Amino acid sequence: METQVAIVGTGLMGVAHTNALRTNGVQIRGILGSSAEKSKKFAEEFKLLKYYRTFEEILADPEINVVHLTTPNYLHFDHAKAALMAGKHVVCEKPLTMTADESRELYFLAKKQKLMTAVNFNVRMYPMVQKARQMLLSGEIGFPYLIQGSYLQDWLLYPSDWNWRINPEIGGNLRTVGDIGSHWIDLVSYVSGLKVKEVFADFKIIHDKRTPNTDNSPKENKEIPISTEDYATVLFRFEHDVPGVMTVSQMCAGHKNEIAYEINASQSSIAWNGAKVDELWVGHRETTNQVIRQDENWAKNGDKDETAAFPETFNELYRRVYEYLAKGDFDLEPDFPSFKDGHYGMLVLDAIEKSAKEKTWVQVSLDDLNR
């Protein structure tokens, strides 16, 4: 059966998935948006065969074997579950679900159904991130002593800024940690090969009320009380008692979309910053520090900051996903993030939420991942 995809969601990520699937020569059959009007418009613009009116229509379409979910977070669980039950493979945006209870159910369901799953942790796919992982896992720079970094943005700086991510019913109880911290946690766990075992979180809601005044604001234009964090610093203990620290905020003027990490290991340090995706800094004690550069013109999109280059990471991620799908053996360990990684991310997020509330260290139980 030829692979045919349905995409759910017509926003920023709906377009990004569409373009990357096309680059990989994957057939997109149809689209579902939040209204028939939006779905029709998207289908016309991208010259898709059809648009759907309901998610059930996708489930009932025998030609569809993969569903891409690019909708706001609260929709991921129900749609992923229904698609897996209907025997369809699922590629889902991050964070995988709203809670770890939901992601656990999806992870075990996918295993039972023997279906392919992927979570769109695209940042893993930068060549210099892959290089860093290889340097860590081969032992070239020694054993990690400290994992540190940040993910900073500025698009929610003003009290008039608004997005569905701010509403916990749509984005989840964690906003900044769920939206961008989830990428950082996945990234450093992937690069270091170490999972988070314990967390201690400090949160701040900087604007405890917002008066949205943007194109996508709620219509009423009134003051809205805010319950999701604008800022977080989280302390970590990774496996082997390796300490870590992450700062995330969407209110740091001048930082558009800047993810960065540094790993200080027993021989050397490495550092990578999304502002210059094609460079990896390597720090030494005895010799001159180095900057390793990706030689080929890897990203075609001008300046190689994270935003300009990210379409390439989607291309690479789906290349791997669809090669894996073509092999057809879903017991094989995938070389891309799956629902197992999505569930791991949610276990860490749940622990962070609890820690911020209780102001104490909280353990992350990783038992599910070995079952």
Ligand X SMILES: NC(=O)c1ccc[n+]([C@@H]2O[C@H](COP(=O)([O-])OP(=O)(O)OC[C@H]3O[C@@H](n4cnc5c(N)ncnc54)[C@H](O)[C@@H]3O)[C@@H](O)[C@H]2O)c1
Closest to ligand X by CB, 248 vs 362, is 248
What are the tokens at 90? 């699922």
Instruction: Please report how close the Cβ of residue 166 comes to ligand X at its closest, in angstroms.
Output: 12
Among 6, 7, 10, 192, binds ligand X (CB under 6 A): 10
Instruction: Please report how close the Cβ of residue 117 comes to ligand X at its closest, in angstroms.
Output: 15
Among 18, 65, 71, 247, binds ligand X (CB under 6 A): 71
Among 33, 127, 172, 311, binds ligand X (CB under 6 A): 33
From residue 145 to residue 184, the character string flagging contacts with ligand X as x (rule: CB under 6 A) and all else as - is ----------------------------------x-----
How many residues make contact with ligand X (CB under 6 A)? 21
Judging by DSSP bridges, how do beta strands 66-69 and 231-238 pair with one another? unpaired
Among 6, 7, 18, 73, binds ligand X (CB under 6 A): 73
Closest to ligand X by CB, 122 vs 153, is 122
Among 20, 68, 72, 173, binds ligand X (CB under 6 A): 72
Instruction: Please report how close the Cβ of residue 10 comes to ligand X at its closest, in angstroms.
Output: 4
Write out the binding residues for ligand X, residues 278-317 only, by CB under 6 A: none
Closest to ligand X by CB, 10 vs 247, is 10
User: Could you tell me which of 71, 25, 32, 70 has the C-alpha nearest to residue 50?
Assistant: 32
Among 18, 43, 51, 70, binds ligand X (CB under 6 A): 70
User: What does each C-alpha distance from 254 to 49, 155, 339 come to in angstroms?
Assistant: 42, 9, 34
Do 258 and 152 form a contact (C-beta atoms < 8 A)? Answer: yes
Q: How far is CA 65 from the centre of its chain?
A: 23
HEC profile for 95-139?
A: CCCCCHHHHHHHHHHHHHHCCCEEECCHHHHCHHHHHHHHHHHCC
97 scored as a contact of ligand X (CB under 6 A): no
Order across the sheet with 50-51: list the strands.
50-51, 27-32, 4-8, 66-69, 89-92, 117-119
Q: Which residue has the tokens 């579902």?
A: 32
Instruction: Please report how close the Cβ of residue 330 comes to ligand X at its closest, in angstroms.
Output: 23
Among 6, 9, 265, 353, binds ligand X (CB under 6 A): 9
Which listed range, 11-19, 56-64, 132-140, 268-276, lies at the site for ligand X (CB under 6 A)?
Answer: 11-19
User: At 253, is the secondary structure helix, strand, or coil?
Assistant: coil
217 scored as a contact of ligand X (CB under 6 A): no
Closest to ligand X by CB, 72 vs 342, is 72
Closest to ligand X by CB, 164 vs 281, is 164
Write out the binding residues for ligand X, residues 103-132 only, by CB under 6 A: 120, 122
Among 5, 6, 7, 8, binds ligand X (CB under 6 A): 8
Among 6, 26, 32, 59, binds ligand X (CB under 6 A): 32
93 scored as a contact of ligand X (CB under 6 A): yes
Question: Which sign does the torsion angle of CA 22, 75, 155, 36 carry?
Answer: positive
Do 240 and 145 form a contact (C-beta atoms < 8 A)? Answer: no
The Cα–Cα gap between 76 and 96 comes to 7
User: Could you tell me which of 321, 307, 247 has the C-alpha nearest to residue 277?
Assistant: 307
Do 199 and 364 form a contact (C-beta atoms < 8 A)? Answer: yes
Do 182 and 95 form a contact (C-beta atoms < 8 A)? Answer: yes
Closest to ligand X by CB, 8 vs 351, is 8
Instruction: Please report how close the Cβ of residue 316 comes to ligand X at its closest, in angstroms.
Output: 13
Among 5, 6, 7, 13, binds ligand X (CB under 6 A): 13
What single-letter amino acid sits at 344?
Answer: Y
The Cα–Cα gap between 56 and 229 comes to 35
Write out the binding residues for ligand X, residues 220-259 only, by CB under 6 A: none
- Residue 147's DSSP bridge partners are 244, 263
12 scored as a contact of ligand X (CB under 6 A): yes
Residues that bind ligand X (CB under 6 A): 8-14, 32-34, 38, 70-73, 75, 93-94, 120, 122, 179
